[in-house]
Amino acid sequence: MMIRMPMHESLSLTKRYILALTIIAFLSILAFFNLSKLLSIQSNDAQLVNMSGNQKIITREIAFYAIYYKIDKLKAKIIEMEKTHNILTSLKMSEELHSIYFGKEVNLDEKVKTYLFHAKRFYVHRDGRSQNYVLKNSEKLLLDLEKAVVVYLKEASENTRKLQKVETYILILTLLTLLFEAIFIFMPASRQINSRTEELIREKEFSNAVIESSRNAIITLDSKMKIRTFNSEAEKIFKYTKEEMLNKTKFNEIVLDKYNINDLESLKKVQESKGKDKNGKKFPIRISFGTSGENRDIAIVANIQDISKEKLNDKILQQQSKFAALGEMIAIIAHQWRQPLAQLNFNCMYIRKKSKDKEIIEETIANEEIIQFMSETITNFQDFYKKSDNTIFNPQTAIEQALKIVSSSIKLNQIELKKQIDSKIKIFGNLNSLAQIVLSIIQNSIDIIKSDKIDSPTITITLKDSEKHTILIISDNAGGIKIEPIKDVFKPFNTKKEKASTGIGLYMSEIIIKNQFNGTIEARNIENGAEFTIILPHNLPNLG
């Protein structure tokens, strides 16, 4: 007997669904334009802040060049300051900014023009009075310029807050729309599906065909929790045969959460749980129940889906998002730090050239080295998280790139690093991907060395070439791999770490090695430690 959903109910659900999708699409477009506007405004505001802040720097430089009669540089700075000032004063201003530039109290526009007039006059005529005016009024002008910078910053922040408020309203409307979908579309659809399932159970032949053709595990239970139906997908997921499960009360052995058959309402909710197969392996599942009859005659149909791949995909997406976020964050930090570091380095160089005190000179040299180290650290992190294409590269570069990231951890934990590297090897692939794999393995070793307090810890990296392969071996003396069998260390959700990892993980490492490099990765225990061997084929493209 075929069970059909009434036509008017189907059309009603479709109309609601189309309406909900239309609203979500509209809100998504609105969010996109709002975000684009936010980015545009932030870019313009940042440019204005930079320009107004740069006026302060140029003011100092004009005074500096006027003192030391560096006429050519003075001319360039006068032109730059005048051009920037004209741009700033030509733009539309708020009342507060207008009062700073043109109001009687500050009148920044007049002060800047007067300052530039005397700077030009000194440049053209070497007028001593104009020089004195520039030197005497540079600091006063800086204070007034700072007032403008503060207002620019405040207005930029206010613009951002307004658009973020709009974004919040859009988010709330989107969530309300999703709630509408859940209440008026998905819940009615779920109830109709359960209703149909109950009717299909009463038709044994038809229900068996449906159950056996299902891509989910279908298990039917009676009121005593004895298994009455155990379809082929359930056999595949849980590794038990029908003969081993039918008429047995083993449901709680394969589904680890406990369920109360008397609480019918809670049984109907879709839930996530843990399953366990015949070999003792645990894995995530999504489970929902349907019921038929009451009391002694109740029949419970459990619909179970293995969501291991889904969870893994979520983990991969989270990992990709994490690396993208890290890359963006490091780019922002680099952008914000570069100019201050350059300015600090310039100041140190200037002090060193002007001072004759030996201690001050030595101290400025030391500070310059520290600044250089900070700049190189920023570059290392930018290079590591930067997206790159497949190319021919030296694996040593990927190894050194990974080691730069953990160099401080290696030093902090007093780990002896041994390297036996053939520096002439070339392979084809993604340099950053290999660097992330090396980082993941080394970071695992460092974590175990740190947590187990290993005496005289060592990590050994060997890179060598054979006739057909490039071989990379990473080993340690951290006590070895505790997982049995060892090959399971490359399976997803198979870890003994309590702390969340910051690397890509061994499962992802194996996928990258196979898919991107057509290679293999193996693990084994050696004396006092573990050894990972990565074998990459010689697959250099013919570029000639």
Asked whether the beta carbons of 291 and 300 are under 8 A apart, the reply is: yes
- CATH, residue 403: 3.30.565.10
Half-sphere exposure of 155 (CA within 13 A, CB side): 20
* Pairing relationship of beta strands 217-221 and 299-306 according to DSSP bridges: antiparallel
Query: Is the pLDDT reported for residue 381 higher than 80?
Result: no
* Same domain, residue pair 12 and 157: yes
For residue 116, count other CB atoms closer than 10 A to its CB. 19
133 and 221 share a domain?
no
Asked if residue 196 belongs to a domain, the reply is no
Full-model pTM: 0.40
Q: Six-digit token pair at 128?
A: 């001593």
Say what the pLDDT of residue 542 is: 52
**353 and 256 assigned to the same domain:** no
Residue 140 falls in which region: left (phi positive, over 0), alpha (psi -120 to 50) or beta: alpha
Using the predicted structure, report yes or no on whether residue 500 has a pLDDT greater than 50: no
pLDDT value for 441: 92
Q: Single out the residue in 281, 306, 331 at which a domain terminates.
A: 306
DSSP 293: S
Same domain, 64 and 169: yes
Using N-to-C axis directions, what is the helix angle for 395-412 and 358-385, rounded to 10°? 120
Write a three-state SS string for 3-56.
CCCCHHHHHHHHHHHHHHHHHHHHHHHHHHHHHHHHHHHHHHHHHHHHHHHHHH
117 & 169 share domain: yes
pLDDT at 23: 77
Query: Does residue 76 share a domain with residue 155?
Result: yes
pLDDT at residue 280 in the model: 83
SS3 for 85-102 is HHHHHHCCCCHHHHHHHH
The predicted structure's pLDDT at residue 461: 95
The tally of domains found in the chain comes to 4
Last residue of a domain, one of 306, 335, 355: 306
- pLDDT for res 162: 81
What is the residue range of 493's domain?
389-544
Give me the count of residues in the chain. Answer: 544
pLDDT at 496 over 60: no
d(CA 378, CA 452): 31
Question: Do 59 and 167 share a domain, yes or no?
Answer: yes
Cα–Cα distance between 243 and 394 in angstroms, integer? Answer: 57
Residues 215 and 284 in one domain: yes
Q: What is the pLDDT of residue 261?
A: 62
pLDDT value of position 2: 41
> Which of 166, 181, 196 is the last residue in one of the domains?
181
Distance CA 181, CA 326 (A): 34
- Spatial CA neighbour of 348 closest among 332, 331, 364, 333: 364
- Does residue 318 sit within a domain? yes
* CATH classification at residue 117: 1.20.120
Task: Tell me the per-residue pLDDT of 230-286, one tens digit each, with 9 for 90 and over.
Answer: 888 888 888 888 888 888 777 878 887 777 666 666 666 788 888 888 888 888 888
Residue 519, in any domain of the structure:
yes
| Whole-angstrom distance, CA of residue 19 vs CA of residue 442 | 52
Terminal CA-to-CA distance of the chain, rounded, Å?
Answer: 69
Average pLDDT, stretch 288-316? 72
- Please give the biggest Cα pair distance in the chain: 109
In a shared domain, residues 177 and 316: no
Kindly state the tokens that stand for 274.
């843990």
Q: Residue 502: its pLDDT value, please?
A: 41
The 3-class secondary structure across 468-515, one letter per residue, is CEEEEEEEECCCCCCCCCHHHHHCCCCCCCCCCCCCCHHHHHHHHHHH
How far, in Å, CA of 154 to CA of 9, rounded?
55
338 with 470, same domain: the answer is: no
* 289 shares a domain with 159: no
Check whether 121 has a pLDDT greater than 60.
Answer: yes
Give the tens place of pLDDT for each residue, 343-357: 888 788 878 888 888
pLDDT in tens, 148-203: 888 888 888 888 888 788 888 888 988 887 777 778 776 776 677 667 666 656 66
Distance CA 500, CA 240 (A): 33
Q: Residue 279 falls within a domain, yes or no?
A: yes
Residue 320 lies in a domain: yes
- 544: pLDDT confidence band, cut at 50, 70 and 90? very low
Residue 347 CB contacts under 8 Å (≥ 6 apart), including other chains: none
Cis preceding-peptide flag for 485 (omega within 30 of 0): yes
Query: What confidence tier does 543 reach under pLDDT thresholds 50, 70, 90?
Result: very low
Distance of alpha carbon 20 from alpha carbon 17, whole angstroms: 5
Q: Please check whether residue 189 lies inside any domain of the structure.
A: no
Q: Is the model's pLDDT at 539 over the cut of 90? A: no
CATH label of the domain that carries residue 284: 3.30.450.20
Whether 462 is covered by a domain: the verdict is yes
- For the domain that residue 324 is a member of, what is the CATH number? 1.10.287
Is 353 within the bounds of a domain? yes
Over residues 460-474, the pLDDT tens digits come to 999 999 888 999 999
413 and 463 both lie in a single domain: yes
Q: Is 521 helix (H, G, I), strand (E, B) or coil?
A: strand
